[in-house]
Each structure stands twice: as C-alpha cells, then as structure tokens.
Chain A
Amino acid sequence: DIQLTQSPSSLSASVGDRVSLTCRASQTISNFLNWYQQKPGKAPELLIYGASSLQSGVPSRFSGSGSGTDFTLTIGSLQPEDFATYYCQQSHSNSPTFGQGTKLEIK
C-alpha cells in the first residue's frame, strides 16, 4: 500500500499569511495526488486534483505543486474561512489512500 505522510500535523498561522503544507508518498506516484479541505462537521471538499489543477469554484489563492513523492499545497493569503483540516489523497494505486491530515489553526 502507498502511504502518505503529511507535515506538519498542525500549524498555527494568521490571516494574511502564506502557508505551505506538505505531503510525502512512500513511493513515486507521478502526479496522482489530490488535496481536500474539511471543516468541522462537514464533508471534505476537493481543492486540487492532479497535484496542481484547481477544482472549479476553488479560490485562486490555493495552489498545488509537486511530482513523484513530494507535494505541496500552498495558500497564498490566508482568509478566516481557510482554517480547517487539509488532507492529501493518492490515486496512483487502485486503492486510494489519504494522508493523516494537517490542522490549520488561527494564531
């Protein structure tokens, strides 16, 4: 199974900050990597697919990069509604797997 490790597990930041979250795969997965945002009590929402493609309707302050084993989700200028938990997910294998999540909190 392909394991995904996200870092950091939690992060404190302020409105207006630029933040980067990392996801590392246990083996190369090309660009079969997606990012989701989950707010408390809500279902996850797709932000980025194919490592760098922005899902329709997602603000342009979100961007994704990376290929192979190392991936990054960057939020250009944090807004109050961005404080949430972020998950990466790989689709390189037939069995999708998720990272353990990064919780983004207000400083």
Chain B
Amino acid sequence: EVQLVESGGGLVQPGRSLRLSCATSGVTFDDYAMHWVRQAPGKGLEWVSGITWNSDTTDYADSVKGRFTISRDNAKNSLYLEMKSLRAEDTALYYCAVYDNSGHGFFPHWGQGTLVTVSS
C-alpha cells in the first residue's frame, strides 16, 4: 500500500519560515517525480512545485518562486518544501503527491496534507 505522510505544518507569523516533509512508503520513490499541491480553506487545488526523480529539475508556481525550495532525499524516500517569507495567502493544506509522467503526467497517489496557517 502506498503511503505519503506530510508533516511540519503549523501556525507561523508572516515573514517567517517553515519546512514541510513528506515521508513515503510502498512506492519506488526514486522512480517518480514528486510535487506539492496546496488548497486554501474552501478553495480549489493549486499546484505549487515539482522535482524530477533525480533532483535535476525543479519548477515552481509564480506565486511561490523565489520563496519556496523543493528538495528530496531518495535514500530516505522523503520530499521536502522549504518555505520562506511566508504570507497570509500561503495559508493552505499542503499535499505531497507522486507524479507519474511515464506517459501522461498525473498524480496517482496523494498524502492527507499538512496545514500551514500564516497569521500574526
């Protein structure tokens, strides 16, 4: 069974930093690209960032570019998101997701999310 477990969320003041983690099991982690997708309270899904299987390429939504950094540790089957200069509009549930781009890129596996609240 594939499991993705996010952690590291919480309440943080504007301008501060936070690091999210995603521990995976049941999937050959280094076979897949990995992504972060977020969902603000009561809103839709917003893609945040992605990283290739070997960390060769990373990509970011314009809304987080220059503030967020995605990384992975294939030896630990884990994905990370370093978030700096946080803003109120970054408040959301952050999901990590496996990205299968072997044919058509899609997200077959998701975690349950970790909640980030940016507020003073």
Chain B contact patch, size range: 20 to 34
**Is B46 an interface position by the 8 A CB rule?**
yes
Q: Is the CB of A98 within 8 A of B45?
A: yes
What per-residue 1/0 map shows which CB atoms of B33-75 lie under 8 Å from chain A? 0010100000011110010000000010110000000000000
Chain A residues numbered 44-72 whose CB sits less than 8 Å from any CB in chain B: 44-46, 49-51, 53, 55
- Secondary structure class of chain A's binding surface, majority of residues: loop
Contacts of B44 in A (CB 8 A): 87, 98-101
Residue of B nearest to A44 (CB): B110
Chain A contact patch, size range: 20 to 34
A interface residues with partner B (beta carbon < 8 Å): 1, 31-32, 34, 36, 38, 42-46, 49-51, 53, 55, 87, 89, 91, 94-101
